[in-house]
């Protein structure tokens, strides 16, 4: 039975198509190619792109090596090879990078993708977009680790291109791939490529890969004197035969590449403007909350009644004068008449012209205007503050008004020395996390220790998701619920 299983396994591996490519890393010149553009399963060569995107995210300030990453159930459940991370465990990004580069840990690779893009699917889309920006025209990524998945394909040429970019775009991290072992935070791990590193002179990386569908893959680089060669193999039958074939290809590369000192033509960095990213929504920031000072009166209702006559207007004025007079006469020391303070009212339109009657109307002498009446158009309006949970002097909502819709959760992003700094911090975070915070209201609250920056009006799940993603980027964040 064991022999049958072994024979089946060997046949499955040998069925994987073979492809290879060798280039002069200094110039990008192709020295050998075989089936280099055939789309095949890359296996864990995928992690080169996972790490490339991670290095780019660090360079752009999206995340840092010291960021604490919370391991999800999905990441912890990935198949071996793995580091053995547990759901809810927190670990620094630097250890996840080491585990992915050296141990080829699938759980670490998934955790990196989720920390940077919020989900592995979103991270895989970013990987594919980055590949296109690098000139990897026949590569599509579906996950961050390289386990076999429909549509997850690449070529020997594309992976060779990626290996060259890894060397020249991020030389400060390239030494990771030559470590025989490393500290991955929870334990020491050995390099999956340690045999080639130990047995081939000048070898210093880069990445191995294996699945049943892919066979034994390897992108290797070696440097001797002024020469550097990159060799890629897809579809090896075993790790030993693959390493032997890679050694032959590297020897061929050193023989065919130009010796001596030549000018290094580094590959151009990817054009990230070409990478599709969500278009940020325009967010208007109001410095102060103001009440409406002028409101246009509605037009008359169609077929409305005739405008009041002069007699009706006169009677109205007489009634007002009589009421004021009676009020003054009934005033007593115990119950004095208190004059209301003058308040501003919205400006009114000019008086409507009274329609003239068809027949001449008798002349009416109008009564004298009561002295205590103040024309409405001259009185100032008393501003009515909008209701807030905090007093207007201590907090400010700096985004559009919105109904809560049952969203009574929020997140706090810490305190700042000035209101302006708190508001700018909120705006920056809103643009970075537009996917999770688009429905939230940005609010600054004055506390004894400073100005606290908050997002409010979120659901519990959305608040926790946003806070988790921000924490992964090194942003201080706490959730708070109703009450």
Instruction: Give me the active site residues, please.
Output: 44, 47, 104
User: In the numeric block, which tokens belong to residue 385?
Assistant: 């503050």
d(CA 146, CA 155): 13
d(CA 114, CA 119): 4
Identify the CA nearest to 416 among candidates 454, 453, 455: 453
H or E stretch at 220: strand 215-224
The three-class DSSP label of residue 204 is strand
d(CA 106, CA 47): 9
d(CA 364, CA 128): 88
- The DSSP bridge pattern shows strands 215-224 and 203-211 to be antiparallel
List the Cα angle 118/175/46 in 5-degree steps. 40
User: In the numeric block, which tokens belong to residue 168?
Assistant: 């020249």
- The DSSP bridge pattern shows strands 227-236 and 19-24 to be antiparallel
User: In the numeric block, which tokens belong to residue 252?
Assistant: 């061929």
Identify the CA nearest to 27 among candidates 170, 178, 220, 230: 230
Residue-by-residue DSSP string for 110-145: HHHHHHHHSSHHHHHHHHHHHHHHHT-TT-B-S-SS
The three-class DSSP label of residue 16 is coil
Identify the CA nearest to 44 among candidates 195, 197, 286, 206: 206
Residue 243 is given by DSSP the state: H
Identify the CA nearest to 412 among candidates 425, 393, 399: 425
d(CA 22, CA 407): 57
User: In the numeric block, which tokens belong to residue 33?
Assistant: 């190619």
CA 298 to chain CA mean position, Å? 45
d(CA 115, CA 256): 43
CB 346 within 8 A of CB 294: yes
Name residues whose C-beta falls within 8 Å of residue 50's C-beta, 6 or more positions apart in sequence.
Answer: 100, 109, 112, 113, 123, 127, 144, 145
Identify the CA nearest to 145 among candidates 166, 125, 124: 124
């Amino acid at each position: 039975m064991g022999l049958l299983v072994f024979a089946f396994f060997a046949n499955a591996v040998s069925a994987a198509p073979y492809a290879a490519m060798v280039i002069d890393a200094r110039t990008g010149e192709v020295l050998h190619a075989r089936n280099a553009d055939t789309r095949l399963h890359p296996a864990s060569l995928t992690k080169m792109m996972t790490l490339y995107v991670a290095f780019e995210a660090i360079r752009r300030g999206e995340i840092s090596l010291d960021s604490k990453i919370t391991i999800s159930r999905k990441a912890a459940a990935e198949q071996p090879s793995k580091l053995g991370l547990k759901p809810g465990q927190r670990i620094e990004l630097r250890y996840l990078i080491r585990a992915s580069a050296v141990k080829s840990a699938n759980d670490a690779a998934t955790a990196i993708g989720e920390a940077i893009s919020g989900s592995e699917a979103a991270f895989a889309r970013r990987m594919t977009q980055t590949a296109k920006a690098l000139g990897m025209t026949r590569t599509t990524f579906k996950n961050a680790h390289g386990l076999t998945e429909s549509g997850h394909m690449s070529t020997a040429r594309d992976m060779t291109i990626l290996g060259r970019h890894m060397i020249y775009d991020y030389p400060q991290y390239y030494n990771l791939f030559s470590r025989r072992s490393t500290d991955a935070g929870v334990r020491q791990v050995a390099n999956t490529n340690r045999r080639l590193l130990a047995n081939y002179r000048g070898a210093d990386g880069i990445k191995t890969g294996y699945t049943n569908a892919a066979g034994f893959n390897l992108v290797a680089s070696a440097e001797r004197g002024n020469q550097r060669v990159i060799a890629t193999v897809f579809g090896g039958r075993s790790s030993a035969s693959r390493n032997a074939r890679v050694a032959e290809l590297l020897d061929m590369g050193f023989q065919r590449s130009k010796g001596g000192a030549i000018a290094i033509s580094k590959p151009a960095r990817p054009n990230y403007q070409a990478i599709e990213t969500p278009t940020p929504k325009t967010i208007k920031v109001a410095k102060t909350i103001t009440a409406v000072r002028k409101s246009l009166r509605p037009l008359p209702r169609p077929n409305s009644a005739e405008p009041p006559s002069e007699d009706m207007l006169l009677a109205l004025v007489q009634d007002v004068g009589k009421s004021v007079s009676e009020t003054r006469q009934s005033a007593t020391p115990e119950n004095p008449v208190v004059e209301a303070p003058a308040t501003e009212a919205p400006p009114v339109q000019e008086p409507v012209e009274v329609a003239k009657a068809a027949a001449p109307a008798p002349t009416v002498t109008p009564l004298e205007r009561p002295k205590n009446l103040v024309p409405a158009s001259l009185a100032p309006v008393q501003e009515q503050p909008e209701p807030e949970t905090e007093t207007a002097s201590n907090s400010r909502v700096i985004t559009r008004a919105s109904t809560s819709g049952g969203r009574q959760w929020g997140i706090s992003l810490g305190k700042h020395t000035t209101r302006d700094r708190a508001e700018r911090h909120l705006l920056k975070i809103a643009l970075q996390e537009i996917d999770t915070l688009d429905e939230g209201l940005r609010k600054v609250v004055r506390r004894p220790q400073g100005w606290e920056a908050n997002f409010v009006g979120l659901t519990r799940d959305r608040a926790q998701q946003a806070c988790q993603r921000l924490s992964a980027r090194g942003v201080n964040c706490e959730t708070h619920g109703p009450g």
